[in-house]
Amino acid sequence: MVNIGFDAYTKDVLPNEWYASWEEEALKAGAIAIKTYAWYNATYPRKPATDYNAHLTDKWQNYQHYVPNSGTTETDTAVDDVSGIFMRNSDGKVFDAQYRAGTKGEIGESFGGVLSQWGTQFIALNYPQYNYYTILSYYYSYSDKSSDLIETGNY
């Protein structure tokens, strides 16, 4: 078992969950979603990680594709740009930042509580004035994750 920080973990998940060629704000949104998901699991560990006395594992069942040393320049830069930032709900609590692939060319459901990976790219391409927070808020605010606007916090 190895303990690593959230940013180091995210650098080895982001390039396996988002395309490195995607827009910068889509990658930043992805990095924060990954860190928040990891933080939630560190706070509220569940199977299969608990079977290994861990919070998260590199097993596919954790739904994050962690591959050591898989970072790219683009994804590492996105992680560095949002270093120390995570999400919390309107009650100030970290939440289960679920995300799914979604469909290429579609935005995904607003305020549905589940982020669309392809949707982050859709928003970043079609609404360049939106930053990572706006993208994350589109999916998680006013949902079963947060009854009002999501907040960002620093660690």
Give the pLDDT of residue 65: 78
| Residue 61, token pair as written in the block | 């069942």
Counted residue by residue, the chain has a size of 155
The whole-number pLDDT of residue 15 equals 97
Read off the pTM: 0.90
pLDDT digits (tens, 9 = 90+) for 55-105: 555 555 556 777 889 999 999 999 999 999 999 999 999 999 999 999 999
Q: Which residue has the higher pLDDT, 19 or 61?
A: 19
Residues β-bridged to residue 100: 116
Where exactly are the structural domains of the chain?
6-154
- Kindly report the backbone phi and psi dihedral angles of residue 16, in degrees, each rounded to the nearest multiple of 5, phi listed first: -100, -5
Rounded to whole angstroms, the Cα distance separating 107 from 116 reads: 7
Cβ atoms of 87 and 95 within 8 Å: the answer is yes
